[in-house]
Structure 1
């Protein structure tokens, strides 16, 4: 029983950093894209503006 509990604890300890990384990666990308979009100047009134 102790071995099974220890195995589950080890699995949870390995799982948590993996999940944190998987969530952090897309959030960082969104944060960077949002910052770049906010820093870009806004053009008004012309159809040929970028």
Structure 2
């Protein structure tokens, strides 16, 4: 069983429209609400590439 520990963006205002992130040893999961109905999962390398491009 995988248990994700989600971290909410520090730039988030009140409400659910916030970025939440969870990391594992080889992946990063991203969602935009506490409910986490839609989750994008990418490799750590892909996420690092995204951050470098921003």
Shorter chain as denominator, the TM-score bin is under 0.3
Q: Which structure carries more relative contact order (alpha carbon 8 Å, separation 6+)?
A: 2
Rg: which structure is higher?
Answer: 1
TM-score normalised per structure 2:
0.24
TM-score normalised per structure 1:
0.25
Q: Which has the higher helix share?
A: 1
Q: Which has the higher strand share?
A: 2
